[in-house]
Amino acid sequence: MLTVAGSDPSGGAGIQADLKTFSALGAYGCAVLTALTAQNTRGVTGVHAVPAAFVTQQLRTLLDDVALDAVKIGMVADAGIARALAAALPGSAPHLVLDPVMVATSGDRLLTPDAEAVVRDELVPLAGLITPNLAEAGALLGRPPAGTADEATDQVHALLAAGARRVLLKGGHRTDELGGGGTVVDLYGEPGHEVVAITAPRVDTRNTHGTGCTLSAAIAALRPVSPDWLTAVRRAKDYLTRALQGADQLQIGRVGPDGHGPVHHFAGIWNERKSDTAG
């Protein structure tokens, strides 16, 4: 497996979350870095993009030696890196998952308009599956985020019509009809088929840092050992739910009103510690 993404020093998202997810699911993880970040469980204080030429060098050197079964793309940082990926990745692996990291949970845009255009026009058509959240789907389409289940379904169809091969529209941040009460609802679509609602129990935890990274990495890891994309998505959702359910067993960061700890990528795999004396 290969993850192409930014680094998270706190270990909950980005490259670190992807590699943990790969390992938890029995896959060997490789990594190409697109950016260094300064962040913790309470926020990001700085981003240092890797030069696009060096991203290309990382990829070419890796692909010259390692045969890949799947690739996950996360944070691309800028337009130059997005173009470098679009040029270097075709044919690199049979399965490619794109998590279009474009809009933060706060609503802040994480990419410049020119970078968003490259992601939309050059990376989305390459991916076997894209996994936008509601805000990112809206950004890709130039529309406001979907506010109802019908609007969300329409946006899945619109993304497919615009060139996406398959779409998993994540609705986990919503608490209305897209994921009301104790249920999270994501929508999966592919050409020629009805949109499928994939439900999971909503887990009551503040430790949700890295959920999008973890889900897309899990789909990439599970696709080579699943009969189809939908099966891989369902299995990945089950894994993420377990990671959320186990998240409160970890005590990472000073999680408060403005903070979110990581999910537990190894829930049910580690022997849970009986004391807090070891790191």
Catalytic residue among 29, 131, 213, 253: 213
30 in active site: no
Catalytic residue flag (residue 153)? no
Q: Which of 80, 212, 246, 261 is catalytic?
A: 212
Task: Tell me which of 34, 41, 56, 208 is the catalytic residue.
Answer: 208
- Cβ atoms of 40 and 24 within 8 Å: the answer is no
21 is catalytic: no
Q: Does 45 participate in catalysis according to the annotation?
A: no
Q: Could you say which of 211, 214, 253, 261 is catalytic?
A: 211
Q: Is 210 a catalytic residue?
A: yes
Residue 179 annotated among the catalytic residues of the structure: no
Hey, which residues are catalytic here? 170, 208, 210-213
